[in-house]
Structure 1
Amino acid sequence: MLTVASTASLRVYVSEWENGRRPISARYAKILRGLLGVTDDELSGKSEVPPTTPTTDGYDELMTRIDAAHSVSLTLVKTFMDQTELLRTMDRQLGAASLVDQMTAHLSALEDALTFAVLPETRRPVARALAGAATLAAWQALDVGAVERAWRHYELGKRAAQEAEEPMYLAHATAEQAYVLCDAGRPSMAVELIRDAQRLGGKTMSPRLAAWLYAAEAEICARAGLQDECRRALEDAVRCLPPGEEARDPDMLSIFLNAGHLARWRGNALALIGDDDAVSDLYTALETADPTFVRASAGLRCDLAQAHLARGEYDQAHEHLRQARLMASRTGSVRHRRRIEQLTQRL
Structure 2
Amino acid sequence: MEKNIAGNLFWIAVLTIVLASATTQAQLQLGFYHRSCPKAESLIREFVQDHIPNAPSLAAALLRMHFHDCFVQGCDGSILLNVTTTTPTNATEKTAPPNLTLRGFDFIDRVKAVVEEECPGVVSCADVVALVARDSVVVTGGPSWNVPTGRRDGTISNATQALNGIPAPFFNFVNLTKSFAKVGLNVTDLVLLSGAHTIGIGHCSSFSKRLYNFTGVGDEDPSLDSEYAANLKKFKCKIPNDNVTFVEMDPGSVRTFDTHYYKLLLKRRGLFQSDAALTTDSNARDFVTNLVNGPPSNFFAAFGLSMEKMGRAHVKTGTQGQIRKHCALINN
TM range (shorter): under 0.3
TM-score by length of 1: 0.24
Structure having greater relative contact order (Cα 8 Å, sep ≥ 6): 2
Give the structure with higher Rg (CA).
1
Q: 1 or 2, which has the higher helix percentage?
A: 1
